[in-house]
Chain A
Amino acid sequence: MMDVGRHPNINLYTYSEVIEVNGYIGNFNVKVRKKARFVDETVCNACGECEKVCPVAVADEFQQGFSSRKAIYMPFPQAVPSVYILNNDDCLGHNPIACGKCADVCEQECIDFDMKDEIIEINVGAVIVATGMDVYDPTEMDEYGYTKHENVITSMEFERLISAGGPTEGHLIRPTDREVPKKIAFIQCVGSRSHSTTGNPYCSNICCMNTIKDSLLIKDHHPETEISVFYIDIRAFGKGFEDLYIRSKNAGVQYIRGLPGEVFEDPKTKNLTLIVEDTVANTVKDYNFDMVVLSVGVIPRRDGGAIQKLLTLSRTEDGFFMESHPKLKPVDAPTGGVFFAGCAEFPKDVKDSVTQASAAVARAEVLLNSDMISIEAITSECFTDLCTSCGICINVCPFNAIRGSDAKTGTPAEVIEALCKGCGTCAAECNFDALSMKHFEDAQIITMIDAMLDENPMDKVTVFACNWCSYAGADLAGLSRLQYPTSQRIIRTMCSGRVDSAFVLHAFEKGAPIVLVSGCHFADCHYIDANRWTQKRVEKLWDKLERLGIRPERLQMEWISAAEGQKWARTMTEIDEMRKNVTKEEVEHTKKVLKEDREKAEAKRAKKQSKKIAPKTNSPGAEISVPA
């Protein structure tokens, strides 16, 4: 951190917040709010005199509330820059000045009560998101008594207790009597690998090794301390991790497979009793300890939503940021020019975080050292003469790649090709055909449907499959030699978001008995949330089909990942059975009804268009302008 602070080519903005990000890959404009710290950081020499005289004492967040800090304080001993900060909320008040003792004793005269937040604008080519993580709050898991028993602490609190820079200067004591605990229990997976109403379903990755490290540290300082670790599985998969685990066992740490059902406290001694089912010995036993450490899991940053909005990122169901591709682009965000490092993407230890950070920097370097970058050839384009400036495209674009559309001024939409990733949702949602997808134009897809259903349409299932997941799932089914009916005919689109309602209706009008729209699972969408629009569109189509007297069941929707070849095969088998139940009369009726509906809509549109170009009655000589 010191190196970063001193590096001539790195501008470090501490106590600052990104409030706005505009632009695109290679050309971002970032607005940063540098919050007022009320201490001139260019002058402060961290003498600490101000802290000594400050009369306010509040719980120190960095020390997990085990000690107090003043209203003017150093956030933590190794803070860079090494300067003090005055917390406006804690200070007795400096407008008007209620105390001012810190300013009185400051020889450097660096305290400035009139300091204001500063907005800084910077232009950058790439953005690396390294916003870290939060730790799980175990207050909701009442069975472990974290809110009731003082000697039940979290692993993060334990970390401060044994830190040389911590509130006890590294001396291990238990909170109630400040004595060295003789028997310590660690409970693993608190808030992780939980499929109940509390906690998270994923493994937090770091807790097992953190406990093993802590147990060895205790054994080094207090060899007589008895340590027991209650676990589901010990996951020691990294380089040297298994050795560390064995060292811990050899040092006398007892590992018991099973998590406690409840933790009780002796009101006199404040000792703790754990009732645990040992799933290896198949016994239920009581264990007594002086102190219990809850090995709490990792959760995504609670303010991650703000970063997501700023950079138009996508998050997984767990709440961590989603990478562009889990194997091929593991450090890239779906938004071009944005990269991830550390726990922002998923829980990882220091080594993995450094590895990912190095990769992110390398990816950013490649970008910054390029005179030119290649962008996706499959992008949207706007036919401005057809655009009504309704703004729907702006709302649906997951990458904020469409701008300009303004109904008041009549400004047509403009596609920023550097931002567009080519999902085609805008083209599918535009009611006026003003947007088109290069290489996946309406006419091209309609032609494919026509060719597909030209002969024996009753024998075919029309399938729209997204490039990344469903199509790859079909590929896997084939590679795996899975058996399924051969009735399906696939039209590949980059994203299921490209599947226009008109394509589905056209297929039905051409005699398709069944149509399937398939795409990625919601968490896997390569275009952030484009497939949410697919679902909405299909839901609207079901309503429309029903209104027209067509069975909605004939339009199917399925989310199939690239790894789900079996799901593809099963879906195709099921849908083929449904196809066989569609009668010729039903299809003929559908064709007739849809033709009538289309002709009605076309007539309505033509009438509307003619009204638009008709001369006004009060200006008979007015020139008629006909759009090209």
Chain B
Amino acid sequence: MTEIVDFKCLRCGHEFTGPYDKKMPIERSCPKCNSNSVRKIKKPIKK
């Protein structure tokens, strides 16, 4: 199931939100520096 989660770029430190699906991994990149070293921050966003 796709959820909206927080991500952190491990290159420039930029934090952003985006969709995440454990079963359907997608190619992610940092919107600021374009790096693919983007790590999901565990805590999901509560709407």
Contacts and interface: CB of A to CB of B under 8 A. Distances in A.
A303 to B, nearest CB: 19
A579 to B, nearest CB: 13
Given A542-B39, A556-B37, A574 B27 contact: no
B25 to A, nearest CB: 5
Nearest to A522: B27
B35 interface: yes
Contact of B37 (A522, A532, A558): A558
A462 interface: no
Interface in B1-33: 10-11, 25-27, 33
A109 B35 CA distance: 69
B37 A559 contact: no
Interface residues of B, number: 11
Interface string A533-551: 0011001001000000000
B36 A557 contact: yes
Given A558-B37, A559-B36, A522 B11 contact: no
B10 A542 contact: yes
B39 A556 contact: no
B25 A536 contact: yes
A460 B15 CA distance: 28
Given A539-B39, A542-B39, A559-B36, A521 B10 contact: no
Contacts of A555: 10, 37
Contacts of B25: 522, 532, 535-536
Contact of B26 (A522, A536, A539): A522
A574 B18 CA distance: 24
Contacts of A536: 25
A552 B10 CA distance: 7
Contact of B36 (A523, A532, A558, A578): A558
A513 to B, nearest CB: 14
A224 interface: no
Given A542-B10, A558-B35, A521 B27 contact: yes
A553 interface: yes
Contact of A539 (B11, B33, B35, B40): B40
A539 B27 CA distance: 13
Nearest to A538: B37
Nearest to A533: B25
Interface of A: 521-523, 532, 535-536, 539, 542, 552-553, 555-559, 571, 574, 578
In the A-B complex, the 7 residue pairs with the closest CB atoms: A522-B27, A553-B10, A532-B25, A556-B37, A557-B37, A559-B36, A558-B36
Interface of B: 10-11, 25-27, 33, 35-37, 39-40
28 contacts: A521-B27, A522-B25, A522-B26, A522-B27, A523-B27, A535-B25, A539-B39, A539-B40, A542-B10, A542-B39, A552-B10, A552-B39, A553-B10, A553-B37, A555-B10, A555-B37, A556-B10, A556-B11, A556-B35, A556-B37, A558-B35, A558-B36, A558-B37, A559-B27, A571-B35, A574-B11, A574-B33, A574-B35
